[in-house]
Each structure stands twice: as C-alpha cells, then as structure tokens.
Amino acid sequence: MKTRAIITIAILISATLLAINLSPVVKTGEFSEGDYIRLERVEMAFNGTGADVSVHYQLSPFAQTYMFLFGSKHLEPKIDKIFFDFEDPKILEIGRKEAMVRITNVSRPQDEYFLHESHKLGMQPDMLVLIDPKGKHTNIANAAFTPDTFYRKADSIYSE
C-alpha cells in the first residue's frame, strides 16, 4: 500500500476512536436502524409572524465522526425534514448538538393577535417547547405537530 493511503486510514480510525471517546455515553438502542439523529428538544420562539427555532439533538457515534471529518452539511436534509410542512425554513447554524432555524410566515396577523395554525413535524422530538413573545413556555412531549397557538401583537417585538 502507498504511504498516503495508510496515513489516511490511520487518521480515519483515530478520528472515529476520538469521537467515540469524547462523546457522552450513547446507548445504541436510542437510534433506530438507519437513523443517526435523535431529537431531544425543539424550542420554537414566536415573534411577530416568524419564529426562531432551536433544535437540540444527539448524533450516533458514526454521525459524530462523519461530522468531525466532513462538516455538518449532511445534517441539513434531516433538519429540513423536521420543518417540511412550514413555508420557508432557513437553517442559520448547525453544530454538534444544536441547530438554529428561522421560519418566516409561521403565524398570521388577526386583529390584536398573531395566529399560528398547526403544522406537522417531519420527526418527533422528545420535547417540543413553544415560547410566546412574553416568554411563557408550553411543553409538549413526543409532539407530531405544532398545536394551534395565538399570542398578542402588543407582546411581539416585530410587527406585521
């Protein structure tokens, strides 16, 4: 074998072992076959007609290694899958344990309120947390969709 190939294989093996050793203890049963991400918590903070979303997840050891070696680009389709039913989600940032997403036109203005109509989620998080503009949290375990929600326009920083 060529020296370059041996070095590449050694680096890949070292990176895999490093990722497994540095990652928190992961039970392989937490990931279904063919899946490499488990959604722990999705926090959706409403403001005006939009929402800022924080997606907290745990990756399988293989996915952590892959991300370490090649970056987070491969996670984008999974994050997009979560918000398939929303009009225009934009991924702002993807990290090892968290992604930030901004969704516009998630709610519509109605008199003194903004109304958010229910949307399906492409993956079920362990916990969905809805945060209104005043900071009130609503926790929903194993949510398959976002519930109908309304909040006052006066409480939002952004207007229509």
In a domain, 160, yes or no: no
In a domain, 50, yes or no: yes
Tell me the average pLDDT across 41-64.
92
In a domain, 126, yes or no: yes
Domain count, the chain: 1
In a domain, 54, yes or no: yes
In a domain, 118, yes or no: yes
- Per the structure, the complete domain to which residue 36 belongs is given by 3-155
Residue 41, pLDDT score = 97
Model confidence at 23, pLDDT cuts 50, 70, 90, reads: low
Residue 26, pLDDT score = 47
In a domain, 10, yes or no: yes
Cα-based torsion angle of the residue sequence 109, 114, 117, 121 in order, rounded to the nearest 10 degrees: 120
Distance (Å, whole) CA 71 – CA 60: 15
Model confidence at 81, pLDDT cuts 50, 70, 90, reads: very high
Is the pLDDT at 16 greater than 90? The verdict is no
The pTM for the full model equals: 0.76
- Residues 129, 44: contact at Cβ < 8 Å? yes
